[in-house]
Amino acid sequence: MTHAVVDRLRAALGDRVDTAPATLEDARADRSGHSSSGAPLAVVHAASVEDVQATLRIAHATGTPVVARGAGTGLAGAANAGPGEIVLSTMNLRRVLEIRPDDLLAVVEPGVLNGELDAILAPHGLWWPPDPASRDISTVGGNIATGAGGLLCAKYGVVRDAVLGVDLVLADGRLLHLGHRSVKGVTGLDLTSLVIGSEGRLGIIVGATLKLRRIVPGTPCTIVATFPDVRSAAGGSAAVTASGAQPAIMELMDARSLAAVHALLELDPPAEGLAQLTIRTDGPLAAAEAAQIAEVLRTAGGAVTVTDDAAEGERLLRIRRSMHAAMLTLGTTLIEDVSVPRSALPDMFDEIARIEREFGVPIPTVAHAGDGNLHPNFVTDEPEIPDVIWRAAEELFRAAIRLGGTLTGEHGIGVLKSRWLAEELGEDQWDLQQRIVRAFDPTGILNPGKVFEEGPAFETGPEGSDA
């Protein structure tokens, strides 16, 4: 059965069907630290939309599950493929098809990297705001599939705010054009928004019409403020938000994060307990806004420095950007991703301190403080995440939900958080969401088992994942 599917794929797609052991092994894991239970059947390197459609038609006819995959930089395991599954890679669909400065839009294929897109847009005076930390290596299609965020979201929005339309191949190979090219449009249900963040469960994203912005004029300013402890740093960021200022970036590092990065970058170790805010203002009023923010931070008890020098600004931001690398030097890392209302940030740091004490695990944490999205990191010497860390993470999720927040701000559910999904959504909504998945994919061949752990709702239908 398995070989028959690969044979059919090869007959239709030739050498775009890759069964090299190293390729299959790579497709088992993303950057979450989690791997599937074994190698998938094959990786199809689609070179056209028609290739995607041909693959889906074969998968649909044979009941074979399909896992869509971009650059594999996800942090929730949503693109990890396992035994019996076809991987559909859209990495070779990498063209920018159209750039319209007058309409502030671009039409792109899904495999374009964020970083390379912005390099192509820059000569037109344009950029696409989504900026996940992985922006140099992650794809636009992956950004859309996960509903990615990043550092600039409080001011410039998330992926959902930056996509006008999506081209989607359905489970049976049909191609849909969702959304429009106009700023406004309310024709029928908003399926474009529904596909954003759907993590491969509704269809394969094969094209996107992106909403662009003009490059922001002016000289950005960078502000660094240190505080004696993380709660006062969180209070400082809340004071900035309350002042009405709207920085482009406002990042918070707790003492453990800051110490780990200083060690990695061979900087002098920070004082015990010291936490840091790194803030950037931009636009024509960047300097005035930076001065206003500096004053707010000083009043909140921060030690503040401000610079409008580009190189110095980059050097300061690099400390925040080195967080992930610093964590990797410490061991196996589980990067968490809870999000809370901005006012709850100080309370969430108290909860993290409590969980550290109760479970006896250190939790170095950075936060996109401007929008209330925290990345607590769990680090272990063991190759697999031990049970105590999962129990601590569960406590973290419940704390975030109690504070009016959510399980995941920007990484998605994937396989790592599916067991808590029903707890946040409630059983009724969880069930409804699965019925919507089945409206798109009646036989359940698209990324089965991801986001929604298969429950009774799926038992009566054909279930590709068991093939």
CA separation for the pair 317, 231 (Å, rounded): 21
Give the shortest CB-196-to-a copy of itself separation in angstroms: 6
Instruction: Judge contact between 287 and 313, C-beta under 8 A.
Output: no
Q: If binding is defined by CB under 8 A, does position 456 make contact with a copy of itself?
A: no
- Give the total of residues touching a copy of itself (CB under 8 A): 82
The stretch near a copy of itself (CB under 8 A) out of 54-62, 96-104, 219-227, 322-330 is 96-104
192: which residues sit within 8 A by CB, 6+ positions away?
A: 163, 164, 165, 166, 178, 179
Give the shortest CB-227-to-a copy of itself separation in angstroms: 19
C-alpha 210, offset from chain centre: 17
Which strands form 86-89's sheet, in the order they lie side by side? Answer: 17-18, 42-45, 86-89, 66-69
Nearer to a copy of itself, 392 or 407 (CB): 407
CA separation for the pair 350, 369 (Å, rounded): 15
The footprint of a copy of itself on residues 270-309 (CB under 8 A) is: 284-285
* Maximal CA-CA distance, the chain: 70
Give the shortest CB-112-to-a copy of itself separation in angstroms: 21
Nearer to a copy of itself, 259 or 336 (CB): 336
Q: Which of 215, 204, 194, 207 has its CA nearest to residue 169?
A: 204
The footprint of a copy of itself on residues 14-73 (CB under 8 A) is: none
The stretch near a copy of itself (CB under 8 A) out of 44-52, 83-91, 101-109, 310-318 is 101-109
Q: If binding is defined by CB under 8 A, does position 238 make contact with a copy of itself?
A: yes
Q: Which of 373, 256, 249 has its CA nearest to residue 313?
A: 249
| Interface residue with a copy of itself, options 73, 134, 339, 447 (CB under 8 A) | 339
Q: If binding is defined by CB under 8 A, does position 103 make contact with a copy of itself?
A: yes
The footprint of a copy of itself on residues 139-198 (CB under 8 A) is: 146-147, 149, 153-154, 157-158, 160-161, 170, 174, 176-178, 180-191, 193-194, 196-198
The footprint of a copy of itself on residues 351-390 (CB under 8 A) is: 368, 371-373
For tokens 């794809």, the residue is 139
CA separation for the pair 252, 284 (Å, rounded): 25
Q: If binding is defined by CB under 8 A, does position 438 make contact with a copy of itself?
A: yes
